[in-house]
Amino acid sequence: MRTDTPATIYRQDYLPPSYLVDTVELGFDLDPARTIVASRLTMRRNPDSAERAIVLCGENLELVALRMNGKTLGKREYAIDDKTLRIPNAPERATLEIETLTAPRQNTTLNGLYVSNGNFFTQCEAEGFRHITYFPDRPDVMAKFTVMLRADKQRYPVLLSNGNLIEEGDLGDGRHFAKWEDPFKKPSYLFALVAARLECQEETFALADGREALLQVWVEEGNLDKTNYAMQSLKNSIRWDEQRYGLELDLDRFMIVAVGDFNMGAMENKGLNIFNTKYVLANPRVATDTDYAGIEAVVGHEYFHNWTGNRVTCRDWFQLSLKEGLTVFRDQEFSADMIGTDSGRAVSRIEQVRTLRQAQFPEDAGPMAHPVRPDSFVEINNFYTVTVYEKGAEVVRMIQTLVGREGFRKGMDLYFARHDGQAVECDDFRRAMADANGRDLAQFELWYSQAGTPVVRADTSYDAEAKTYTLTLSQSCPPTPGQQSKAPFHIPFAVGLLGANGRDLPLTIDGVAHGTGAVLELLEARQRFVFTDVAEAPTPSLLRDFSAPVILEYDYSDAELLHLFSHDSDPVNRWEAGQRLAMARLLKLTAAVAAGAKLELDETFINALRKMLSDASLDAAFREQALLLPSESMIADQLETVNPQAIHLARQFMRRTIGTELRADLFAQYDANQTPGPYSPDAGSAGRRGLKNLALAYLAAAPSPANNALAKMQFDTAGNMTDRVAALGALIHAEAEYASDALARFYDDFEHEALVVDKWFSMQAAAPGTDVAAVRELMLHPAFNIKNPNRVRSLVFAFCAGNPAQFHAADGSGYAFWAEQVGALDALNPQVASRLARSMDRWRRYAPALQLPMKKALQQVAKGKKLSNDVREVVGKALT
């Protein structure tokens, strides 16, 4: 039975489980049409619970048999509905034997046990295990798992599960078996199995304590030429966690398996990580520099979960950021350390800031805003968000900023000493950090409990006589759903002061010298900081390294920004100054487009970009960042009323002007940043390619026969995918004559590489010339498959979320398309549908003529008869 208003679950209603599970033995008879799952659970009453009933979750299961302590339970001895199985009055100790049936081939949700390209996979986080068997499917129930897999040997030669392989053999009837045992207790969401025809790259790897571990990367036939980088990243991750945190791999065997149908990026199942192919498969022919970086980050992320997530897990799903925020922080640090240079670190920090602004700030300002540790949800799958992940990582980073790197390590050590093997709360992490460092982090808790992006306003004054410089910081935080007013946050606020010569001035506050950089702690709504012995009126460099996820308001003059853009010793703020210069102009241009006024770009700005572009003392990767403009959606976020077409035209005008005015310099940098020799994904080479291809993109924004010829030449001769897609993108954006030929050739060359076909779709979906009709046409292409999330993301998401000027077409056709696709996807895969649903979150900010059709589309989806809770929650919140 389905009701119209799905139940909201509240954090404060947490109750401990009534029964604990010591051991789980699972037996699978794998068959795509009809898989039998036999489970034996040894359970005992939880002394911390008053509840006397055994409560098991189970959905879409057919119960075949149920025995307790050897006796079949009669119909009156248990109660069952579409979500729960309850055994009232259960004894102190109970051994349950449960047999259920599922239909994996029918499972299009990719949650639970499902089939992808004929192979079996599972996905259990957050609540997928209940689609496999009846179980107390909650992360605070941790048990030891033994798993017996049985399947046809020809069709499924590889049988994998968590932990160690302890037995395997033939069953005589064409079938075979494998028995796996996980030595660590774990929550059910970390269970996984794979039964498939796969091949693997493997090697043994020496761990710090001298043990050897077997590392494997499993892929479908034909993909063994694309596993090297994932393997290398895995080894780097293992080393890094040993060195930076003293954390070792605790298993003899660690496996990564790639699957083409996957809802998310990857999953940290104990010893058996399952990955979206996008984050495993790479070689220079098919993968871009961005793909390589993604693989390194995600392989690291999942590996680091082994400690931050698996050894110490979450008490309940409201604590999701306990593992996700911390693990994102760890993978960010890993990626930055892999680059190894200060400038490389800064570039990765800039990319993190861009992600936050691009995705998290809007979430914090919209109808789905929630704290890093949410207080309620309808569907937990809707809370795997940029707030929980990326803002959660920022919160962890702020703790490190406050206690220092060494203090942070002490906190981590204490966290594991206290909580290894436990399911805990975000508060436990914060407490370990506070206790290990003798710091009060009580007020800091508000970062976990209050939603919304704080705004910090800075005001300054210089007293030439007294040689003092006063910085006044005021903070506020806008209301978010369910939270009308907010208390002041504990904000680490890093600052420096630049002299007229561009150098950092020495900082003295309250008689204490701080070198040339200080981390101020803003605790009150308004606080004054007085710097003494300031010899000249400085230019303030505020919120250095983006020391807190806040919006900084300061009335910088153009002259100050140009000064920072040329000289700030903090590269993040140097970049930031350029973004502010660009944003101010983009906003003016947007207004001018809307007013039909003449569009102009000042010489000063162009010259600042010219200088930056050609400054050979700076890494190419940094220069690329400094020359990238804020995205259309970031511009939209600055506006009261959003007019997507005006924003697009304004930004295009700026790009074209850059392409025209800097033409010679762009050509020069194009030549200067070639990367001859064999392809390597290292940060230095990737940075040079990035700058070279940005130069190409700017030239394409100002099309001319020579510019287009350059793009064509690069497309025709590219020796790697990075250069190939960059050239194709340039041709498409320049609407060059050659573009359609190039697209056709690209498809022909790569039609058997699914991840490249995804690129082919997404480049077209996001192209300025692609309207709804063109997207519908692309959906008819034989390679489009609505059941494959990567493909849907590459076409439908890339259009709805990545092509704002076309999606928001005045006739509302984009919205009608959106509604249709959300509905179609929801019937197959609610998790994917609900993500797409979120592209209309901020409908209230659009020009009135767009709001009405947006609202209509939302209402149309909301009235869908068989709507999932996932989509219902998202559109419901958008409409309230």
Our finding on whether 384 is near ligand PHE (CB under 6 A) is yes
Q: Which is nearer to ligand PHE, 360 or 633 (CB)?
A: 360
Q: Give the separation between CA 831 and CA 828, rounded to whole angstroms.
A: 9
57 binds, among Zn ion, ligand PHE, none (CB under 5 to 8 A by kind): none
Q: Give the separation between CA 567 and CA 654, rounded to whole angstroms.
A: 24
Least separation in angstroms between CB 322 and Zn ion: 11
Residue nearest ligand PHE, Cβ-based = 264
Q: Which is nearer to Zn ion, 288 or 332 (CB)?
A: 332
Least separation in angstroms between CB 267 and ligand PHE: 4
Q: Give the separation between CA 681 and CA 701, rounded to whole angstroms.
A: 27
Q: Give the separation between CA 121 and CA 17, rounded to whole angstroms.
A: 28
Q: Taking the CB of residue 45, how many other CB atoms lie within 10 A of it? A: 18
The residues that bridge with 471 in the sheet, in sequence order, are 460, 529
699 binds, among ligand PHE, Zn ion, none (CB under 5 to 8 A by kind): none
Least separation in angstroms between CB 547 and Zn ion: 24
Least separation in angstroms between CB 9 and ligand PHE: 17
Residue whose entry in the numeric block shows the structure tokens 């799958």: 381
Q: Which is nearer to ligand PHE, 309 or 454 (CB)?
A: 309
Q: Which is nearer to ligand PHE, 355 or 638 (CB)?
A: 355
**Structure token digits, residue 595:** 């007013």
The residues that bridge with 152 in the sheet, in sequence order, are 175
Interface mask toward Zn ion for 325-364; x: CB under 5 A: --x-------------------------------------
Least separation in angstroms between CB 301 and Zn ion: 6
Q: Give the separation between CA 488 and CA 452, rounded to whole angstroms.
A: 12
576 binds, among Zn ion, ligand PHE, none (CB under 5 to 8 A by kind): none
241 binds, among Zn ion, ligand PHE, none (CB under 5 to 8 A by kind): none
Q: Which is nearer to ligand PHE, 291 or 324 (CB)?
A: 324
Number of residues that bind ligand PHE (CB under 6 A): 12
379 binds, among ligand PHE, Zn ion, none (CB under 5 to 8 A by kind): none
Residues 431-470 that bind Zn ion (CB under 5 A): none
Q: Which is nearer to ligand PHE, 388 or 612 (CB)?
A: 388
Q: Taking the CB of residue 773, how many other CB atoms lie within 10 A of it? A: 11
Residues known to be catalytic: 302
Helix, strand, coil content of the chain in percent (nearest 5) = 45, 20, 35
Least separation in angstroms between CB 146 and ligand PHE: 24
Amino acid at 19: Y
Interface mask toward ligand PHE for 237-276; x: CB under 6 A: --------------------------xx-xxx--------
Q: Which is nearer to Zn ion, 323 or 692 (CB)?
A: 323
Q: Which is nearer to Zn ion, 393 or 666 (CB)?
A: 393
Burial of 680 (0-12, 13-18, 19+ CB in 10 A): middle
Residue whose entry in the numeric block shows the structure tokens 């077997």: 214
Compute the residue count for the chain: 880
Asked if residues 209 and 248 have their Cβ atoms less than 8 Å apart, the reply is yes
504 binds, among ligand PHE, Zn ion, none (CB under 5 to 8 A by kind): none
**Structure token digits, residue 572:** 């993040």
Our finding on whether 289 is near ligand PHE (CB under 6 A) is no
Q: How far apart are the first and last CA of the chain?
A: 25
Our finding on whether 324 is near ligand PHE (CB under 6 A) is yes
Question: What's the chain's Rg over C-alpha atoms?
Answer: 28
Residue whose entry in the numeric block shows the structure tokens 């997404």: 762
Least separation in angstroms between CB 334 and ligand PHE: 14
Is the torsion defined by CA of 702, 704, 710, 712 positive or negative?
A: positive
SS3 353: helix
266 binds, among Zn ion, ligand PHE, none (CB under 5 to 8 A by kind): ligand PHE
Q: Give the separation between CA 398 and CA 395, rounded to whole angstroms.
A: 5
If residue 231 lies in a helix (H) or strand (E), which one and from where to where?
Answer: helix 228-245
Q: Give the separation between CA 318 and CA 388, rounded to whole angstroms.
A: 10
Burial of 834 (0-12, 13-18, 19+ CB in 10 A): buried
Which residues touch 452 (CB under 8 Å, ≥6 apart)? 364, 365, 369, 477, 478, 479, 480, 483, 486
Give whole-number Cα distances, 816 to 799, 821, 864, in Å. 13, 9, 14
Q: Which is nearer to ligand PHE, 301 or 808 (CB)?
A: 301
Least separation in angstroms between CB 129 and ligand PHE: 12
Least separation in angstroms between CB 262 and ligand PHE: 7
267 binds, among Zn ion, ligand PHE, none (CB under 5 to 8 A by kind): ligand PHE
Amino acid at 44: R
The residues that bridge with 519 in the sheet, in sequence order, are 494
Least separation in angstroms between CB 124 and ligand PHE: 8
Q: Give the separation between CA 372 and CA 45, rounded to whole angstroms.
A: 33
Task: Please tell me the number of Cα atoms within 13 Å of 879 on its side-chain side.
Answer: 19
Our finding on whether 870 is near ligand PHE (CB under 6 A) is no
Asked if residues 382 and 834 have their Cβ atoms less than 8 Å apart, the reply is yes
Our finding on whether 296 is near ligand PHE (CB under 6 A) is no
Number of residues that bind Zn ion (CB under 5 A): 2
Residues 107-146 that bind ligand PHE (CB under 6 A): 123, 125-126
Q: Which is nearer to Zn ion, 324 or 428 (CB)?
A: 324
Residues 86-125 that bind Zn ion (CB under 5 A): none
SS3 309: coil
Our finding on whether 723 is near ligand PHE (CB under 6 A) is no
Least separation in angstroms between CB 327 and ligand PHE: 7
Our finding on whether 302 is near ligand PHE (CB under 6 A) is yes
Q: Which is nearer to ligand PHE, 45 or 301 (CB)?
A: 301
Q: Give the separation between CA 625 and CA 454, rounded to whole angstroms.
A: 25
If residue 291 lies in a helix (H) or strand (E), which one and from where to where?
Answer: helix 289-305
Q: List, in sequence order, the alpha helices (H) in 503-643.
A: 558-567, 571-595, 603-614, 620-627, 632-637
Residues 290-329 that bind Zn ion (CB under 5 A): 324, 327
264 binds, among ligand PHE, Zn ion, none (CB under 5 to 8 A by kind): ligand PHE
Binding footprint of ligand PHE on the chain (CB under 6 A): 123, 125-126, 263-264, 266-268, 301-302, 324, 384
Binding footprint of Zn ion on the chain (CB under 5 A): 324, 327
